[in-house]
Each structure stands twice: as structure tokens, then as C-alpha cells.
Amino acid sequence: MQTVTYREALNQAMVEEMQRDGNVFLIGEEVGEYNGPYKVSEGMLDRFGPLRVVDTPISESAFTGLAIGAAMTGLRPIVEFMSFNFSLVAFDQIVSNAAKTLYMSNGQFPIPLVMRGPGGPAAQVSSQHSNCLESLYSNIPGLKLIMPSNAYDAKGLLKSAIRDDNPVIFIENELLYGDAQEIPDEEYTLPIGVGEVKREGQDVTLVAYGRMLHLAAEAGEVLAKEEIGVELIDPRTIKPLDLDILADSVRKTHRMVIVEEGHRFGGVGAEIADQVYGACFDDLDAPIRRVTASENPLPYAKNIEAASLPSVAGIVEAVKAVLYRAS
């Protein structure tokens, strides 16, 4: 085993896949000479050269379109967005071209493309750099969407995403980049579309992904001291969603709370709740509860930012609410 940070796990995944397959290349702003804005691509330019680690101008639409065209010819690009907020500049390329080309070409042109980078709130980066875009991209047919919560998952899922013949949105969080974890020395991959039970419990199913998984885990510890058994589930991939693991848990606990960093209206949690209601409505002893950000652009001020986002206390309150409703 080796202990690596989240960013180092991503780096290992890209290096290993570029060594394995000469068609894989990385493209984006500052990914080469600067070693990546968050140092995720550190050392890759020296290892692979400027034809496979490509620094670009500040033009997300242009380099995303270039990558889509490259994928149509059989290459396997990894596009790094300095922030997933900036992917909105390339939104038409992603939605109209990356997601639709396989269908529009009657299967002639697969798009083996990974679009990755940090998304969601960080620490006082304010409204225009704090968008949670997973609900937006998960609404687009043709795109897969992955949001790993830890280094082990990040490496295994990124390797699988690079090997996938479909366009994959891979959203990280810059507040997780420094988190360290033991992962295997040997190569491994993780299947896309398979969630994981992080903690077993009997009283309530708690669902969270990305950075929110860590807040949910803290809430689980708090609730355990009150002898409330939380079953914590990390979907790991938003689309495709592992409904089976969620439904199996609800059939055991009969209650569910969903935590997401994005806004309530049209959020990923709404889709998860809808699918769980459809699969096991009669197994629920209380309505599903959601913990989300408040409905406002994220403020810069630290105290108001904290008040706008999910918290451990808010998760604990939601869990107790579904338990009291059922009693």
C-alpha cells in the first residue's frame, strides 16, 4: 500500500493510462509548464512532452472542441478545466457535440473523452466560482458523471473513465486535493455506476457524494454517540446511478436523508429521491429528507458562506427529523 493525496491519485491515474495507451493525452490551461493550477499534472510534461500534455490559451470552447474532434479520430483526450465553472464557456461544445455525436452519427463516432477539474464551493471563492454543476450535466443524455469523494475512488474511477468510449464529466473538489489515503501499489480500476456502503447502520440511510460524504461521515459519528445507526452510502457516480445499493439500504432502514452541496430546486438529490420512491415507496416509514445549499448565489463572506452550505449540524437535524416522523 502507498499513502497518496487526492491530487496524487489523479496524477497516477493519468500517468498510468498515458503509459498504457499512446492515444491518451491531456489538454487544458496551465497543465504543462505550470504543472496544473492545482498541481494535479505535476511532472507530466517532462514525462510525456508537449504533444501529449498540451497547454492552451484561455479558451475553453476552443480546446474542448479540439478534444471532441480528436476523440472522433480515435484519440482519447483528457480535458482539464481549471474550474468546472469555466466549463460553461464550452457548454455548447459539451452538450451539442460531445454528448450527441455518437447518436447523430448513427454510432459511427464514439467520443472517448474525459472532462475533469474542480467544481463546487471551495473556500471563499464567491458566487461565480462555486457553482455545483452536476445536476445540470446529469440532465444531458450521452454524458456520464462521476464525483469521487476520496483518493482511492478518484484513481480507480478516473482510469475507468479514460478507458470508457463515452464522454465523462469527472468533477473533483479543490478542498479534497490535499486529503491523503492509503491505496494499492498495484494497478486497479473501479466500475462506473457502482456505489459503496461506507458505514453500515440500521436506522437511516444517509446518501452523500463528493466533499459532502465527509460531512455526512462526521454526522454519522455524532449520531452514533446517541445510538442512532446511520448507513452511509457514497454513490460515487451520479450517472449512471446505482439504484440497487440505495434501494437495498432503504429496505433495511426504511428512512433516507440525501446530502448535496448544490441547490435544492432541480438538484441531484431530487432525482435520487424520485428513483428511490419509485423503487421502494412502500418500504419508507417517513418522507425522504434532503439537505442542500440555500437558494442564493454563494456569498464571499466566510460566515454567510458557511450559513449557506450544508453542515454537520444540519445533517444531524435532518436524520432526527425522519426518525421522529416515523416514531
Chain Cα centroid distance, residue 60 = 20
Task: Name residue 66's beta-bridge partners.
Answer: none
Q: How many CB atoms neighbour CB 26 within 10 A? A: 27
Largest CA distance in the chain: 63
**Angle, CA 112 vertex, CA 55 and CA 70 arms, to 5°:** 50
- Give the CA-trace dihedral at 155, 160, 165, 166, to 10 degrees: -70
> Residue 3, class by beta-carbon neighbours within 10 Å (0-12 exposed, 13-18 middle, 19+ buried)?
exposed
| Residues designated as active site | 60, 129
Closest CA to 210 of 290, 131, 146: 146
Q: How many CB atoms neighbour CB 89 within 10 A? A: 15
Side-chain half-sphere exposure of 73, counting CA atoms within 13 A: 9
Do 163 and 108 form a contact (C-beta atoms < 8 A)? no
